[in-house]
Amino acid sequence: MLNLGALFFLLPLGFLKSARRARVFYLPFLLLFVLANFVKFQPWCFDNYKMFLHWHALTVVLASVAIFWVADRVGNRVGAGVGTGGGAGVSAGGGARGGAGTRGKQKEFYAVPVSVAFLVVVCCSLACTFFGFATHAEMLEQNARIWSAEEVRVAEWVRENTPSESVFLTGSAHNHPIPSLAGRQRVMGYEGWLWSHGINWTKINERKRDEIAIYRGNLSLLKDYRVDYVCVGPYERAFATENHFKINDSAFDDEVLDRTREHSQPRITSK
């Protein structure tokens, strides 16, 4: 809803100025917009934007109605002002003064709502501009690094010391160095990409449950997935935190690579 921009002002006016049939036709799309802001229709909230596309296609039509209505009103008022001014030049003095008084009252009548509307638009524009600058400033302060030097070294070790067809059990982060840098297969990749490629969400959750069971110590599942190596590091601990479980470190004591016991770097065990 924060990304509406000019539509925030044009939509209500366009809706009011549209024909009744157009308003009735638009109502289901407006309901879709409201629901998509509060109901998660898909596993990843971001994918709800697909629902907004249908609403947006109709909304821009109503916005154009508002723009044309405003343009017509401004054009008519300018034309009326020119016509009235021309008539005042040839009319009697009293008539001219009466016409000027009427125009003055009309200006006063429109001055307050127009001023308020203008102030609202300016304030909203300034707020959006400030929000944009603040967001970009925060992004610039953040480190854009994807992998640390230590993660690069771990990936190099994996490439040099494990067969290319090896299967790893890792966390499901999209930027995990084992598949990204070392080019090794893993039991399950990033859930969002798996779902986007058409893999059933139920199957994804089933595999995730098995991964969690292995990290909890159920090593019998390693054979089912033909796992050659198990990675335990920051990505896996983040995976455990996100899924509310604790890794059973004692189950993975057959260490091929032991970077540290301080949980800051990964260790890879062979099973």
If you write DSSP's letter for every residue of 109-140 in order, what string do you get? Answer: HHHHHHHHHHHHHHHHHHHHHHHHHHHHHHHH
Nearest to 182 by CA among 161, 203, 205: 161
DSSP letter (8 states) at residue 6: T
Q: Region 229-243: what's the mean pLDDT?
A: 93
Do 168 and 186 meet the contact criterion of CB atoms below 8 Å apart? yes
Which pLDDT band holds residue 84 (cuts at 50, 70, 90)? low
Lowest mean pLDDT among 8-12, 194-198, 225-229: 194-198
Q: Which residue's entry shows tokens 């790893």?
A: 168
| Distance in angstroms between the alpha carbons of the first and the last residue of the chain | 50
166 has pLDDT over 70:
yes
Do 189 and 172 meet the contact criterion of CB atoms below 8 Å apart? yes
Q: State residue 47's pLDDT score.
A: 76
d(CA 165, CA 183): 9
Q: State residue 212's pLDDT score.
A: 96
Nearest to 233 by CA among 264, 197, 201, 193: 264
Question: What Rg value do the Cα atoms of the chain yield, rounded?
Answer: 32
Which pLDDT band holds residue 184 (cuts at 50, 70, 90)? very high
Which pLDDT band holds residue 68 (cuts at 50, 70, 90)? confident
Q: State residue 9's pLDDT score.
A: 79
Q: State residue 259's pLDDT score.
A: 36
Chain center to CA of 65: 28
Q: State residue 67's pLDDT score.
A: 84
Q: State residue 269's pLDDT score.
A: 64
Q: State residue 121's pLDDT score.
A: 67
Listed in sequence order, the residues at least 6 apart from 243 whose beta carbon sits closer than 8 Å to its beta carbon are: 208, 212
Task: Supply the mean pLDDT for the chain.
Answer: 78
Do 229 and 268 meet the contact criterion of CB atoms below 8 Å apart? yes
DSSP letter (8 states) at residue 258: E
Q: State residue 167's pLDDT score.
A: 94
Nearest to 151 by CA among 232, 231, 265: 265
Q: State residue 25's pLDDT score.
A: 94
